Amino acid sequence: MAATGIGSTSTSTESLSYQRPLLLADFRTESTFEQIPIIDLECVSNGGNDFTARRALADNIRDACINVGFFYLKNHSIPQEVITDAVNATKDFFSLPLESKKSIDIHKSSNFKGYTALLGENTNPENRGDLHEGFDIGWEELHSGASREDDGAMTGDNVWPDSKTLPDFRGKVLRYYHAAVKLGQSLFPVFALALDLPEDFFDDKTTKPAAIMRLLYYPPQTGPVDDRVVGIGAHTDYECFTILWQDEVQALQVLNNDGKWIDAVPIPGTFVVNLGDQFARWTNDIFKSTVHRAINRSGIERFSIPLFFGTDYDVKLEPLPSCISEDDPPKYEVVTAGEYVKSRLEATYAHSK
């Protein structure tokens, strides 16, 4: 599937920009961040015909990717109604009796799909388990329900709760999934431009959206909090980038270079986007896969929905020539995106096997 949202036809201005010397690391600032930047996606959401605006957007995104690894996205194109439906479906799902949810436990799945119970996952190996419940899905055709025949290491169907119990659940969740995938597809060309690559660079590497979506529920943690049992322990994400919807409850925190946790304060109408390990690998760490965690000390329930979007599972994560040099040799062994995601998921769920 071709990337949507912005065109990839070359103009003379674009060709010139590709030939600029690539000194991406020079965009790194000396001091660390104290805030997460807000980026306006209007020029992509409106059809993306203005290259000057796309270039300016890519420059802002480059700055955020090199120096923070996180940004808020405003003026995205996902209708509020699609989000609200998915959030309501999320709340209905987590309200089901534990035995219904356990019947589709993620440990029964060969491809990491289904329900994760409280403490079922441990994102930070130094911790004792994450205090959230989750529900994971991957790509599935909206109407026919077909999954893909061959997703390499990640091949397999989604699992769903009983449609008699939650008749609208699958439709609402998948509608949001496909909207978020479309938004993600519109971001790949901007990331490419931010790396001074042709805007269509990721098109042939993202033909079958390798996107995992999670519904997450964080119960409140009251009283003294054991640092080793938090909502989600300190970790980096595994794919190229994550598009996170979060409700109004503050819990997400992002680690800056001074080791200080910066709150990713909820901003209504925005998504939080953060980079993951695949982009760190493509760029030999020029793009930051920033450590983050979530602790819900608010006293009320919190819900969030991340969508993790990587390159196709059979694509090799090779460093871009512009991001390596004699002084900066490749830092990572080359593996496929699917092997990488699978190995990280195996480690995350190993403790509750």
Ligand X SMILES: O=C(O)CCC(=O)C(=O)O
Name 21's Cβ contacts closer than 8 Å, sequence gap at least 6.
none
Provide the minimum distance between the beta carbon of 100 and ligand X in the complex, in angstroms, as a whole number.
Answer: 23
Residues contributing to the site for ligand X (CB under 6 A):
214, 216, 232, 237, 244, 246, 252, 292, 294, 304, 306
CB of 337 to ligand X, least distance (A): 17
Can residue 151 be called a binding residue for Fe ion (CB under 5 A)? no
The site partner of 304 among ligand X, Fe ion, none (C-beta below 5 to 8 Å per kind) is ligand X
Q: In this complex, which beta carbon is closest to Fe ion, that of residue 85 or of residue 237? A: 237
Q: Which residue is nearest to Fe ion (CB)?
A: 237
Q: How far apart are CA 137 and CA 116, in angstroms?
A: 12
Q: Which does 246 bind (CB under 5 to 8 A by kind): Fe ion, ligand X, none?
A: ligand X
| Residue range at the interface with Fe ion (CB under 5 A); choices 22-30, 64-72, 148-156, 229-237 | 229-237
The minimum distance between CB 294 and ligand X, in angstroms, equals 4
Partner whose footprint covers residue 286, from ligand X, Fe ion, none (CB < 5 to 8 Å by kind): none
Tell me the window of 23-31, 67-75, 204-212, 237-245 that interacts with Fe ion (CB under 5 A): 237-245
Between 45 and 296, name the residue whose CB sits nearer to ligand X: 296
Task: In angstroms, give the least distance from the CB of 216 to ligand X.
Answer: 5
Q: What's the rounded Cα separation, in Å, for the pair 276 and 270?
A: 19
Distances (CA, A) of 61 to 67, 274, 321: 10, 11, 20
Cβ-closest position to ligand X:
304
Least CB distance from residue 239 to ligand X, whole Å? Answer: 10
Residue 314 touches Fe ion, criterion: CB under 5 A: no
Give the relative orientation of helices 169-194 and 80-94 as an angle to the nearest 10 degrees: 120
Instruction: By CB under 5 A, name the one of 140, 237, 312, 314 that touches Fe ion.
Output: 237
Residue 252 binding: pick among Fe ion, ligand X, none (C-beta 5-8 Å cut-off by kind): ligand X
Which residues would be at the binding site for Fe ion (CB under 5 A)? 237
